[in-house]
Copies of this chain bind each other. A is one copy, B any other.
Amino acid sequence: MSQLDISCGLDFSVTPDLQACLTQALHSNFSFIVVPIVHPRFRRQHVLNTGKVGGFTRSDMILSPQDWTSRLVGKLSPYLSVDSDVPLIRQRHQDCLNEELSYCRGLGLPAIMLSLTGEKSNNLARILQSYYESCHHPSLIWAKVPLVNTNLRSVKNYEENDTSSNETWIWWSKFHERLDYDKRVGVVLEISADLPSQQLLRRWLGEPVKAVIVPTSIFHNNKKGYPVLSRAHQELVVSMVEHEAQVIVTGARRHKLEFYLQYLHRLWERRPNPADDPMLSYARGWEDYLQIPLQPLADNLDTHTYNVFEKDPVKYDQYQKAIAKALLDLQKKQILKEPRTIISNCTENEEFGQGDGDTEKNKRTITVMVLGAGRGPLVRATLNAADITNTKVKVIAVEKNPCAVVVLAAQARELWRGRDVTVIPGDMRHINLTPKADIIVSELLGSWGDNELSPECLDGAAGLLKPGGISIPSAYSSYVAPISSPRLWAAAKVAVSGTTVQHDKNLETLWVVYMQNKHDIADTKLVFSFEHPARGHKDHEGQEISDYRGLPLTDNRRSTTLSWIVEQDNVMHGFGGYFDCKLYGDEMISIVPSTHSPGMISWFPVFIPIKTPLRVQKGEKITATFWRCVDTRRVWYEWIVEIGNRITPLHNCNGRSSEMLL
């Protein structure tokens, strides 16, 4: 269902004249209709009992085969109680349920709706799992729960509401857990007149809400007599539809059907415009779509990837600002620290720092190395920054990707003619250049900061930088927040890497994904930090240790233990992972949600799954440990999560499932 247009359905089972209502619903352009599934053996209902699948006998009421497989949602008999305590009822209802399911299978319905009425759903989930195991074209399962358990609600206040709303979330959540968070299983929320707190409503946004049921009873009439919703209900419906829920109108017909439909469409069209964030349009279609992180060090990027990244409207602006600041700071330093050098070079040093008036020869040339120059965006940023700050720069572009080197060399020849740009093909870790750089500029960060091996590359290139030189970026950090997302977890579990599905590997891997259908269980916290130029280990006497090349011996292994207190019952499926980065001075780039650089599109976050989702209760503590491991050939992460007495397996032990190659 497109997010651009609201998709509305009608549950017309409440009206006595089903056929007439069905006709009307189709004529009113409702997208789909919810019909009761009653096995032909029990001929009490008439709609589905014509014996002619794919059509009705009355001439005014024809359903095409496409309608049957796309516009009808089957509703299982609500009285079925397969988790009854009475063995006989359990067994009989199970037989009935299986008959209804196999009737749905015969009809080829796109979805089947059933009602959850309590926390007990072991047998129901078991029967549905068998249905999925034995069915070639299984329908989606829509499990209906009330937003608030009205049976419980005696006192009408928010706290009570929240308790009974939490309860129905638990019905759904346990049911879904019993089906191993199958992505074919979604929830349908039956909206009530009273709504629970925002916190509880937000939690539902992490669940796969397939539809919201809006009873006609919660509409009230506006001045002109048309049915409208309260402000709170409007917001709820719109936010659910934004998360791809459909809308089902149900209940007694108090108005012409078209009125409800027209109102809902107007509501959707009138919704507050999404902010003019380029990310929103850029990410459309990529919501919750998992991608394997790039390995730009091990693999050479292709032209498509460069095309995408170079389009970022924000990132290179930030780099340009940072480079400009660094250039200015170096100029100032030159005045302060190297007066004698400057005196020997020029006679007008009192004019230094004023910029415009300087002649070329008055200025020392500042050497800027762009490490991993790709097709040159940072070279451009450097040249722009030099122009703006009126600095004389020598740019050395180092690039290991031979294809990109060709493009760089062509640009140096054609575009940057007259500028001092040198292209050096090679791996920054293994080349030696003189003169050393005053500034090294790189963009080696992945969605989780160091996960594209920026620390290893920059430490390996430390010999290219003058002592006291500037690295842009100068520091970066990774962050995580525990999240609930059945959708992302189920997607990761069955994601195909290569030709085979490898459940174990898939849940020990970082996934790059524009996360939409998720809920943050707790705050985002810092994981690992890195600084450049990096300081080496110190020996017992406090001296920095150097390696055979004289570079500081750094240790980029890390381990961090984080904990969070949970404020609401939830199920944890993994972590959202982010980074921020200090380029230079106060010039930052960030994809941490609270500080996200507006409009920057280069990075989607990462989803870090856990193998076994963990149910957490309000007040419990989540403790997670992350390790960044390094050996001579590769870098990888391991992680483990503990909640109370429960502990996940160690993820990605020895990098068995995912690694970044050095």
Which residues of A pack against B, CB within 8 Å?
87, 90-91, 122-123, 125-126, 129-130, 133-134, 174, 177-178, 180, 555, 557, 559, 612, 615, 617, 625, 627, 638, 640, 642, 645-647, 649-650, 653-654, 656
Among A122, A125, A178, chain B packs the most CB atoms within 10 A around the CB of: A122
Note all chain B residues with C-beta closer than 8 A to A645: 615, 617
Among A130, A134, A612, A615, chain B packs the most CB atoms within 10 A around the CB of: A130
In the complex, A555 Cα to B92 Cα: how many Å?
A: 11
Given A174-B647, A617-B645, A647-B174, the answer on whether A653 and B133 have CB atoms closer than 8 Å is: yes
Q: Are A654 and B555 in contact (CB under 8 A)?
A: no
In the complex, A134 Cα to B647 Cα: how many Å?
A: 24
Residue of B nearest to A504 (CB): B503
8 nearest A-B pairs in the assembled complex, by CB-CB distance = A133-B654, A130-B654, A129-B653, A615-B645, A126-B650, A122-B625, A122-B640, A133-B653
Residue of B nearest to A611 (CB): B612
A70 to chain B, nearest CB (A): 28
A82 to chain B, nearest CB (A): 10
Given A123-B559, A133-B656, the answer on whether A178 and B650 have CB atoms closer than 8 Å is: yes
Given A87-B559, A557-B91, the answer on whether A126 and B647 have CB atoms closer than 8 Å is: no
A126 to chain B, nearest CB (A): 5
In the complex, A126 Cα to B654 Cα: how many Å?
A: 8
Which of B122, B125, B559, B654 is A90 in contact with, Cβ under 8 Å?
Answer: B559
Q: Are B647 and A177 in contact (CB under 8 A)?
A: yes
In the complex, A642 Cα to B83 Cα: how many Å?
A: 15
Which of B126, B180, B653 is A638 in contact with, Cβ under 8 Å?
Answer: B126
Note all chain B residues with C-beta closer than 8 A to A646: 615, 646
Note all chain B residues with C-beta closer than 8 A to A557: 91
- List 22 A–B pairs whose Cβ atoms lie within 8 Å, in order of A's numbering: A87-B559, A91-B555, A91-B557, A122-B625, A122-B640, A123-B559, A123-B627, A126-B627, A126-B653, A129-B650, A130-B654, A133-B653, A133-B654, A133-B656, A134-B654, A174-B647, A178-B640, A178-B647, A178-B650, A612-B612, A615-B645, A617-B645
Note all chain B residues with C-beta closer than 8 A to A617: 645
Note all chain B residues with C-beta closer than 8 A to A123: 559, 625, 627
Which of B90, B126, B649, B656 is A180 in contact with, Cβ under 8 Å?
Answer: B649
In the complex, A646 Cα to B123 Cα: how many Å?
A: 16
A293 to chain B, nearest CB (A): 22
Which of B87, B650, B654 is A125 in contact with, Cβ under 8 Å?
Answer: B650
In the complex, A123 Cα to B642 Cα: how many Å?
A: 13
Among A90, A133, A557, A654, chain B packs the most CB atoms within 10 A around the CB of: A654
A599 to chain B, nearest CB (A): 37
A81 to chain B, nearest CB (A): 14
Residue of B nearest to A87 (CB): B559
In the complex, A529 Cα to B315 Cα: how many Å?
A: 71
In the complex, A16 Cα to B106 Cα: how many Å?
A: 82
12 extra A-B contacts, CB within 8 A, seeds A91-B557, A133-B656: A90-B559, A123-B627, A125-B650, A126-B638, A126-B653, A129-B653, A178-B647, A178-B649, A612-B612, A615-B645, A615-B646, A646-B646
Note all chain B residues with C-beta closer than 8 A to A87: 559
Note all chain B residues with C-beta closer than 8 A to A612: 612
Residue of B nearest to A129 (CB): B653
A476 to chain B, nearest CB (A): 19
Among A130, A555, A645, chain B packs the most CB atoms within 10 A around the CB of: A645
A331 to chain B, nearest CB (A): 39
Residue of B nearest to A170 (CB): B645
In the complex, A638 Cα to B177 Cα: how many Å?
A: 17
Q: Are B653 and A130 in contact (CB under 8 A)?
A: yes
Note all chain B residues with C-beta closer than 8 A to A642: 122
A149 to chain B, nearest CB (A): 18
Note all chain B residues with C-beta closer than 8 A to A615: 645-646
A458 to chain B, nearest CB (A): 21
In the complex, A625 Cα to B122 Cα: how many Å?
A: 8
A457 to chain B, nearest CB (A): 22
A415 to chain B, nearest CB (A): 48
In the complex, A642 Cα to B466 Cα: how many Å?
A: 63
In the complex, A625 Cα to B87 Cα: how many Å?
A: 13
Note all chain B residues with C-beta closer than 8 A to A134: 654
In the complex, A130 Cα to B631 Cα: how many Å?
A: 12
In the complex, A557 Cα to B647 Cα: how many Å?
A: 36
Given A555-B91, A559-B90, A559-B123, the answer on whether A654 and B178 have CB atoms closer than 8 Å is: no
Note all chain B residues with C-beta closer than 8 A to A654: 129-130, 133-134
Note all chain B residues with C-beta closer than 8 A to A180: 649
Note all chain B residues with C-beta closer than 8 A to A647: 174, 177-178
A59 to chain B, nearest CB (A): 41
A539 to chain B, nearest CB (A): 12
In the complex, A99 Cα to B136 Cα: how many Å?
A: 54
A162 to chain B, nearest CB (A): 19
A530 to chain B, nearest CB (A): 15
In the complex, A653 Cα to B133 Cα: how many Å?
A: 8
A49 to chain B, nearest CB (A): 23
A312 to chain B, nearest CB (A): 35
A314 to chain B, nearest CB (A): 35
A444 to chain B, nearest CB (A): 24
